[in-house]
Amino acid sequence: MAKEKLVEVKNLKQHFKVGGGRVVKAVDDVSFDIYKGEVFGLVGESGSGKSTTGRSIIRLYDITGGEVKFDGQVISGKIKGDLKRTLTREIQMIFQDPYACLNPRMKVVDIIAEGLDIHKLAKNKQERLEKVYKILEIVGLTPDHANRFPHEFSGGQRQRIGIARALITQPKFIIADEPISALDVSIQAQVVNLMQKLQKEFGLTYLFIAHDLSMVKYISDRVGVMYHGKLVELADADELYAHPLHPYTKSLLSAIPEPDPIYERNRQRIPYTADVHDYSQEGPEWVEIRPGHFIRANKAELVAYEKQLADKK
């Protein structure tokens, strides 16, 4: 059965004009699809353009170039008001620091119900409250949390509130921008497990953004690796871990701690420091080197990557 595409990002560019006539190419010619019901992990170091990619998809910027489709419809550029409203219901975001985006003066019930209010999804006060109670339970909180304020919660609980707020409009697609990076390591797995459970239960599709591969490994079906505004590699998660090709991907993989202390002691971190300008002068292209395994490479690199794959067989 052919997988259906939910999100199609084609040649996306997001360039920012900064001081002195300089331009930051935050996202530069990035293309990828996200299939319905999948978790697409997007990884890369801080500043590589991950958030900008997510924010461009959700229309927080006027994109510089390219196109974004959602459920077969173009959603970038000028679109109708009806579609805009539909998108604010069907696409939701979860952020790194839930505290920064939860209004401290609002009670949890009103924070969570905001989407219901905006889209008039509750017939009356009673139904509004029932929906909030239900979603609180779904994310592992209780109805008596509804009347409290954000500062009364721990980091992990606040992220659960952020998740509840995102889920209340019954979205199809969730962009989770480093949802666990600000949490204690002990809490990270809990939130990832919850997100995974919700994804299965509600048939959600995720763009899951992270700066390292450690958690993305567990949650993602496919992973894209970003470096300096470009995708450098994209493959099924298993394929990427078994046969990483790009030196930057290898470097990210080498940074994941090993659970076994003996392996951990011997783990070697592979640094990656490319001269970005040299790199772009070589004219690398985005090539499908194996079915579903994409790599950004010039001709000479491609030959070397082919050899690596052949040697592993």
What is the DSSP track for 121-148? Answer: --SSHHHHHHHHHHHHHHTT--GGGTTS
Locate all alpha helices (DSSP H) within the chain, ordered by sequence.
Answer: 50-57, 81-90, 98-101, 108-118, 125-138, 155-167, 185-202, 216-219, 237-242, 247-254, 261-266, 276-281, 299-312
Instruction: Compare residues 56 and 188 and give the one whose CB is closer to ligand ADP.
Output: 56
Residue 125 Cβ vs ligand ADP, minimum distance, rounded to whole Å: 39
Q: Which of 1/18 has CB closer to ligand ADP?
A: 18
Report which residue type is found at 218: Y
Measured CA to CA, the distance from residue 262 to residue 64 in angstroms comes to 49
**Tokens at residue 201, please?**
């239960």
Closest contact distance (angstroms) between CB of 228 and ligand ADP is 9
Least distance to ligand ADP, CB of residue 1, Å: 34
Q: Give the C-alpha separation, 135 to 132, whole Å.
A: 5
Told to check if 48 binds Mg ion by CB under 5 A, we report no
Residue among 304, 275, 273 at smallest CA distance from 287: 304
Handedness of CA 229, 231, 237, 240 (dihedral sign): negative
Q: Which does 266 bind (CB under 5 to 8 A by kind): Mg ion, ligand ADP, none?
A: none
Q: Name the binder of 155 from ligand ADP, Mg ion, none, CB < 5-8 A by kind.
A: none
The C-alpha torsion from 201 through 207 and 208 to 211, rounded to 10°, is 180
- The piece of 16-24, 116-124, 188-196, 295-303 that touches ligand ADP (CB under 6 A) is 16-24
- In the shown chain, the binding pattern of residues 41 to 80 toward ligand ADP, with x for contact by CB under 6 A and - for none, equals ---x-xxxxxxx----------------------------
Pick the closer one to ligand ADP by CB: 76 or 157.
Answer: 76
Residue nearest to Mg ion (CB): 51
CB–CB of 135/111 below 8 Å? Answer: no
Q: Residue 306 CB, nearest distance to ligand ADP (Å)? A: 30
Cβ proximity to ligand ADP: between 145 and 228 the closer is 228
Kindly state whether residue 255 participates in binding ligand ADP, applying the rule CB under 6 A: no
Partner from ligand ADP, Mg ion, none binding residue 47, C-beta < 5-8 Å depending on class: ligand ADP
Counting residues that bind ligand ADP (by CB under 6 A) gives: 12
Q: Which residues contact 212 (CB under 8 A, 6 or more apart)?
A: 43, 252, 255, 256
Contact 87, 31 (CB under 8 A): no
Q: Which listed residue (9, 12, 26, 240) binds ligand ADP by CB under 6 A?
A: 26
Report 99-158 residues binding Mg ion (CB under 5 A): none
**Which are the contacts of 267, defined by CB distance < 8 A and separation ≥ 6?**
254, 257, 258
What is the nearest approach in angstroms of ligand ADP to the Cβ of residue 18?
A: 5
Dmax (CA) for the chain in angstroms is: 65
Please report whether residue 51 would count as binding Mg ion according to CB under 5 A. Answer: yes
List residues near ligand ADP by CB under 6 A. 16, 18, 24, 26, 44, 46-52
List residues near Mg ion by CB under 5 A. 51
